[in-house]
Structures are given as structure tokens and as C-alpha cells.
Amino acid sequence: MSSSVKWLSNQTYELFEQYSEGNFDRITLNRLVLEATEKAKEMEVMGKEMSYSDGYAEGYKRALEVIEWYIKNHISGMPQDHIGDTNKKV
């Protein structure tokens, strides 16, 4: 169960508790439940968007780690004398 569904469940429970205690009428209860439902939908969308972007960020991180590993393992074993001093004038 997603966190937005849990949040909506808790909100709905609290709203029905307040309604049963006479804190507001049925029309107000309906309005508050609809508002909470809309907010839960927004939270769900935001959660999916964050999950999607987190996945991309993790993919880029792993790609950079692979590149770093490749460079360390393949270039470090090569002779370095072929690399010229870039500060020298030709």
C-alpha cells in the first residue's frame, strides 16, 4: 500500500471520527473527504515522479561508477610516457 493511500485512510478515519462527534455536518464531511482524496492523488503522482527521477539519478550514478572503474583499470596499466606535457610549447 502506497504512503498516499495510507495517508488518505488515516485522514478519512479522522474525519469520520470528528463527524461522529458532531464537529461538522455531512456536507462538510463530504467536502473534506473529497479534498483529502484529491490531495492523495497529487501525492501519488508526486511520488511516482520522484521515483522515476530517482531511478534516472541512480542510473547515471552507476554509469559514472562504471566509467571510473574502466578508466582506473584500463588506463592505469598503460605506460604513461606517451602522454605529453600539455603545458609545453611545441
What would the DSSP string read from start to end of the chain? --HHHHHHHHHHHHHHHHHHTTSS-HHHHHHHHHHHHHHHHHHHHHHHHHHHHHHHHHHHHHHHHHHHHHHHHHHTTS-STTS--TTS--
State the pLDDT at residue 90: 47
Domain assignment present for residue 88? The answer is no
Domain assignment present for residue 12? The answer is yes
Residue 36 has pLDDT above 90, yes or no: yes
Whole domain around residue 24: which residue ranges? 3-75
Domain assignment present for residue 83? The answer is no
The mean pLDDT of the chain is: 79
State the pLDDT at residue 88: 53
Domain assignment present for residue 81? The answer is no
Domain assignment present for residue 38? The answer is yes
Q: Which residue has the higher pLDDT, 85 or 62?
A: 62
Residue 18 has pLDDT above 60, yes or no: yes
Task: Give the chain's domain count.
Answer: 1
